[in-house]
Structure 1
Amino acid sequence: MEINENHIKASDGKVLRRISDGWIAGEEIYLGYAYYLGGIKLVEPILELPEHYEEIDAPIPEE
Structure 2
Amino acid sequence: MNRYLINLSYIGTRFRGIQRKIDKTVGQFKDPYTVQGVIEEALLKLRFVNEPLLKLSSRCGAW
Scaled by the length of structure 2, the TM-score of the pair is 0.28
More strand by share: 1
Q: Which has the larger radius of gyration?
A: 2
